[in-house]
Amino acid sequence: MAIKLKSSGKIFLIVLTLALIFVGKLYWYDKRPQEAKASHDIGRVALPDAPEASLAGNAIALPLPSQEESVNGGTRIVWKIMAWNSQFPLLYANGGANTTKGSLADKSRLQIQIVRQDDCFKSITDIVKFAQDYKNNPDAPGVFASFMGDGMPAFFAALSKELEPLGPEYQPVAFYAMGKSYGEDQLMGPAEWKKDPASAVGKTVACVLRDGDMNILLKWAGDNNLKVNPDETTYDKNAINLIAANDFLDAANKYITGYKETRKLIQDGKKVSEEITVGVDAVSTWTPADVNIAQQKGGLVSIATTKQYSSQMPNITITIKKFAYDHRTDIENLIMMLGQAGDQVRSFTEAKVFAAKVSAKVYNEQTADYWLKYYNGVTEKDRQGNMVSLGGSMAFNLQDAANMFGLGKDGIDRYKIVYTTFGDILSKMYPEYMATYPAYSTIVDKSFLQSVLVNHPELLEGQALKQTYSAEITTEVSSRTYEIQFETGSAVIKPTSYQVLDEILSSSVVAEGLKVGIYGHTDNTGSIAVNQELSEARAAAVKRYLVGKGLTEARIESKGFGPAKPIADNATAAGRAKNRRVQIVLGE
């Protein structure tokens, strides 16, 4: 016979059951090993380089724009930008926050309002609203945004999804790069990281997750064969761990203020109940956050910067396809004005100073002297007496923009490499946020820039950025060993290794400030003289391959060390195999 309980009895049993569940969770479930996100071996991060130049000879400085706002009746554009010195060409060309009389924008019959917006998510909202407005009202002012090129896969993934309901013609499109970060975005860490990258293992880096500055860390870690833990809630002693920041200034403040947090430990790939308290060991950020670190606390040096990874962070401008196609002439005029502005900023101090003054007004922060100083970049002492590099951006002219998008003489599409490299890394590390991202061919439209290059050769007199390299590498930024297969006893590269060589090419093309070292090594089988000669020949063969693909000979040094520098025991077959290697070093 079934027994019926009174209400009070039912309540007692419910409370008892919940109590048992709670105790079980507290003393068993929470303490059991749990699945943890695997720390990632970033692998070879392949990025392109950009070669410095400006107008020369009989070049003419254009008259500076006036401060009086223009009302030219032209196409209206609201341009959302972060506080970033790579936008000097736009600020110079527009003459102010709003287009001024006599400016290049005024002459192009463009009515541009420049608005500071550091929040990418708000920019997504602004572009989505513009697309909706434009679909209903073709006279709606255009909305543009400029962002860090290496962070665009995540940005486009989010933006494309939001715009899907409006149809394919309202998808976002990237069409130009007006400049790049040239040192101001950097990984700042303890000095020992520079001497021994492996000392970063088990340490922490504060940064904005899935953002361009985080990518500097990923690039450096990948080039040095270091793992990165993608989960900001756990601690992995065998990887570099991330501390999430709200924005680039918050990343610096967490280091400055001695921020700490508690993490679950990872043991044998599992998250366990044991916890550890961690602080901030390093920061990946950009100006003025790097300046704040140096002036307010100090203690960190430049580990890797965008002066070294010089094509990683171009300033990419986007809008929606429908507006760009409806205003093709305006887009081409805009590209011409930015190209001219880039040449002026690079060539004439007055133009650069003018752009700095407009920066202070648009950003409503600091002074013109401040923005000019950190556009140029400086090396100065921090609060603890360490010498540290701060700031550094570069304006593009048309030649530079052509090189960035694969329209230059070498045909290397630098931005495609940047975009796909970091898109692949982030989709691998954070599939829950970005399982896929738009293909490069769907979000970059080169036709506007191609038209300008073909129809206006007179605007190509400005020389592309160039780089000179030291005769020999004296300081290593990164070192990685590659398995390249050669025919037995010879320097003939097996075709199966061409893919590896292409990976080396892309990785080497990363930074104008870094020379490429190719070092051949052998095991100790046979005579020292023969092995020495073989190691030199194999290093030279790799060099010839890379030069044939477009790298300049001046950028590459090749050396052979024979059996002199083993990394494993030559007494075993496995050890000898490890010692037969080609080492690629990026250094200065």
pTM for this prediction: 0.83
The dihedral of CA 194, 196, 201, 203: what is its sign?
negative
The CATH number covering residue 576 comes to: 3.30.1330.60
Q: Are 194 and 171 part of one and the same domain?
A: no
Q: Are 201 and 168 contacting, i.e. CB atoms less than 8 angstroms apart?
A: no
Rg of the chain over Cα atoms, rounded to whole angstroms, equals: 27
Q: Are 423 and 436 in contact (CB under 8 A)?
A: no
Q: How far apart are CA 348 and CA 354, in angstroms?
A: 10
Could you tell me if 324 and 260 lie in one domain?
Answer: no
Q: Are residues 161 and 271 in the same domain?
A: no
Encode 277-307: b = buried (16+ Cβ within 10 Å), e = exposed.
ebebbbbbbbbbbbbbbbeebbbbbbbbbbb
Measured at the alpha carbon of residue 514, what is the angle toward residues 510 and 515, in degrees to the nearest 5? 110
Residues 324, 258 share a domain: no
Residue 421 pLDDT: 86
Domain span at residue 193?
A: 40-48+185-305
Model pLDDT, residue 342 = 95
Per-residue pLDDT of the chain (588 residues; tens, 9 = 90+): 333 334 444 444 444 444 444 444 444 444 445 556 666 555 544 444 433 445 766 678 899 999 999 999 999 999 999 999 999 999 999 999 999 999 999 999 999 999 999 888 899 999 999 999 999 999 999 999 999 999 999 999 999 999 999 999 999 999 999 999 999 999 999 999 999 999 999 999 999 998 888 999 998 998 898 999 999 999 999 999 999 999 889 999 999 999 999 999 998 888 888 999 999 999 999 988 999 999 999 999 999 999 888 889 999 999 999 999 999 999 999 999 999 999 999 988 899 999 999 999 999 999 999 999 999 999 999 999 999 999 999 999 999 999 999 999 888 888 998 898 889 889 999 998 888 999 999 999 999 999 999 999 888 888 777 777 788 888 888 888 888 888 878 899 989 899 888 888 877 775 566 889 999 999 999 999 999 999 999 999 999 999 888 788 888 999 999 999 999 999 999 998 888 899 988 888
Domains: count for the chain: 3
**What region does 540 belong to: left with phi over 0, alpha with psi -120 to 50, or beta?**
alpha
| CATH code of 295's domain | 3.40.190
**Does residue 488 share a domain with residue 582?**
yes
138 C-beta neighbours (distance < 10 Å), count = 10
| 506 and 446 fall within a common domain | no
